[in-house]
Amino acid sequence: MQLDGKTAMVTGAASGIGAAVVRTFARAGARAITLVDVNEQQAELVAEEVSSECDCQLFVSTTDVSQGDQVQQMVDETIRQFGEISILVNSAGIAPAVHWPDVTEENWRQVMETNLHGAFLCLLTVAPHMRQKQWGRIINISSVGAFQGSMTAHPAYGVSKAGILALTKSAAKEFAADGILVNAISPGSIETPLARQNFTEQERQAYAEAALLKRHGTADELADSVLFLASDRSTYITGATLHVNGGSLLV
């Protein structure tokens, strides 16, 4: 499952799943990767670590994916530097531990704009470049919350992640004729800073127990499933959702 010569853009690249995807893609031979995140310092650290072990061009872009003008600038700069974008991974996301009594229009919008609007904006801006090349892979990170509703996170979290699945299907239909495959991954409980910040120790233990495999997944395990969908080993899958949850939700 090599990515030789491929160029990728990974959002949420400073941490957790996004950072693991960057490492995995670089080891798989990607030619160039744009690391997109609001956390510039952390993204630079990931880039430094990756560049010390792989021969891969890296561009760190401090971009808020919910802002269309920033996304446009980041995509333009990537095209200027790398000439194309063959793979887009939408991993940027937030899952604030806000419950119904504290839900406001403002915090609802923040979750929806980061998780759903952000993925939409990146897809909208990158797809024309893939269309030009008649090849592309788009992988959107959803969640079990899309199927179960939010558990500990803000109610908008599950809504945004269900929206990601419909966005994935709509885009898969639109771009199939252009050789662009669009899929979603629905992770269960994955050991990342997001999971550690938003779940209590007790909740985390319960999630591990709920999985048939009796443990959390790792960001590297999740990144391997992203690599599969991004690679030439995946040629007949589009509009699909890959469940990577250790058996915690059987769909």
Of 31 and 33, nearer to ligand NAD (C-beta) is: 33
Which of 157, 175, 199, 207 is labelled catalytic? 157
Residue with tokens 């058996």, as numbered in its chain: 247
Rounded alpha-carbon distances, angstroms, from residue 226 to 179, 185, 190: 18, 8, 14
- Name the minimum Å distance from CB 179 to ligand NAD: 26
- Name the minimum Å distance from CB 89 to ligand NAD: 10
Q: Which long-range contacts (CB under 8 A, 24 or more apart) does 208-215 make?
A: 210/248, 211/245, 211/246, 211/247, 211/248, 212/246, 212/247, 212/248, 213/246, 213/247, 214/246, 215/246
Of 16 and 31, nearer to ligand NAD (C-beta) is: 16
CB 207 within 8 A of CB 188: yes
- Name the minimum Å distance from CB 127 to ligand NAD: 19
CB 197 within 8 A of CB 191: no
- Name the minimum Å distance from CB 74 to ligand NAD: 10
Name residues whose C-beta falls within 8 Å of residue 123's C-beta, 6 or more positions apart in sequence.
Answer: 88, 90, 138, 140, 167, 171, 182
Of 31 and 87, nearer to ligand NAD (C-beta) is: 87
- Name the minimum Å distance from CB 118 to ligand NAD: 6
Paired strand residues for 217: 190
Of 3 and 112, nearer to ligand NAD (C-beta) is: 112
Q: Look up 157 and say whether it is catalytic.
A: yes
Burial of 102 (0-12, 13-18, 19+ CB in 10 A): exposed
Of 31 and 242, nearer to ligand NAD (C-beta) is: 242
Which residue ranges make up the site for ligand NAD (CB under 6 A)? Answer: 11-12, 14-18, 37-39, 64-66, 91-95, 114, 118, 141, 143, 187, 189-190, 192-195
| Count of C-beta atoms within a 10 Å radius of residue 19 | 27
Give the Cα separation of 238 and 194 in Å (integer): 28
- Name the minimum Å distance from CB 192 to ligand NAD: 3
Give the Cα separation of 32 and 41 in Å (integer): 20
Residue with tokens 């999740």, as numbered in its chain: 222
Of 132 and 148, nearer to ligand NAD (C-beta) is: 148
The residues that are catalytic are 157
